Amino acid sequence: MRIGFIGLGNMGGPMARNLLKAGHTLTVFDLSKKAVEELFELGAMKADSPAKVAQSEVEVIITMLPASAHVKRVYLGEEGVLANVSRGVLLIDSSTIDPLSAREVAAAATARGNPMLDAPVSGGTLGAANGTLTFMVGGALDDFERARPVLAGMGKNIVHCGGAGNGQVAKVANNMLLGISMVAVAEAMALGVALGMDGKTLAGIINTSSGRCWSSEVNNPYPGVLENAPASRGYSGGFGSDLMLKDLGLASEAARQVRQPVILGAMAEQLYQRFSAQGNGGLDFSAIIRTYLKETQA
Ligand code: NAD
């Protein structure tokens, strides 16, 4: 298929590489010339603006951008996708943004005769590199079916979540829970250790008991519990605290718009906000346990 790809960062870069590997023809754009050159060397064609991507002969355009403001600029701006794309081209935004912005952009696209899906992902940079991402997709079912073979080149688990914006709804709900559960595991691990328990033994008990969750089992925040977790390498790599802060902010903002209380989500957001303000935004989000530990412990 002929695909336009805009946003070649930590996620978009490897996703675009997998589409090339799957045999698709790509026209790519990013503000970073280096990112564009890397894809060009692998066989993609270059464009120098979102408008140029839209004007090239593509059947599908995928975007993987940092946040709502970038998505709105790329789709709705004067030199953007919607002002330049042919009717019928399928638009897929895989950025993580708030559901209401996703619905606004999708409505503008539909009004111009372009079907649009929101398709945020989970699986991180490793999932992007290995082509094992989960796609949470919002939009019309027939558009979802049209997108499925393209998404299958980048992910393993491709789920239709309902109408426009629902992919983002699934993503913000899941990530809000993840943020809360990480803080909860950090608090429990720190308490157990402060009361004299060995961290590894405590994690073993939790992971065979009712407290078990992804944050305790796969990304335990206590150093030394899991050899391959960020906690055992100074919290480098993984999912940055600033990205978690962004996702908790999206959940709070979406909740505010429908007057839905998210009490623990807001507390987790504030904890990550303080953590980020202290200069820790680049550390894996499990490093939030440092809020609880004495300096010598982590
Ligand atoms: P990133 O910052 O590495 O990449 C974003 C890219 O978009 C950059 O290369 C930037 O130059 C480009 N860009 C920004 N504005 C642009 C514009 N106007 N036109 C063209 N290109 C533009 O971010 P990322 O880690 O790739 O994340 C992308 C999205 O995926 C975010 O919404 C993020 O929340 C989400 N996400 C990230 C991860 C992760 O582990 N990194 C996991 C799941 C979801």
DSSP state of 298: -
Can you tell me the mean pLDDT for 27-37?
Answer: 98
Contact yes or no for 48/40 (Cβ under 8 A): no
Task: Give the dihedral sign, CA 43/23/133/218.
Answer: negative
Indicate the top mutation candidate among 6, 17, 31 to test ligand 1's pocket, ranked by most ligand atoms within 8 A of CB: 31
The reported pTM is: 0.92
Strands (E), 83-187: 90-93, 116-118, 121-122, 133-138, 155-162
pLDDT at residue 296 greater than cutoff 90: no
Identify the pLDDT of residue 106: 98
Q: Is the dihedral angle over the CA atoms 279, 283, 289, 295 positive or is it negative?
A: negative
**156 annotated active-site:** no
- C-alpha–C-alpha distance, residues 182 and 267, integer Å: 12
Strand 45-46 relative to strand 25-29: parallel, antiparallel, unpaired? Answer: parallel
Instruction: For the chain, give the percent of residues with pLDDT over 90.
Output: 95
pLDDT tens-place string over residues 62-96: 999 999 999 999 999 989 999 999 999 999 999 99
- Among residues 171, 200, 246, 294, the one annotated as catalytic is 171
CA of residue 50 to ligand 1 center, whole Å: 15
Q: Dihedral angle at the C-alpha atoms of 199, 205, 206, 210, nearest 10 degrees?
A: -170
Q: Whose CA is nearest to atom 15 of ligand 1?
A: 70
Assign 294 a pLDDT band (cuts: 50, 70, 90). confident
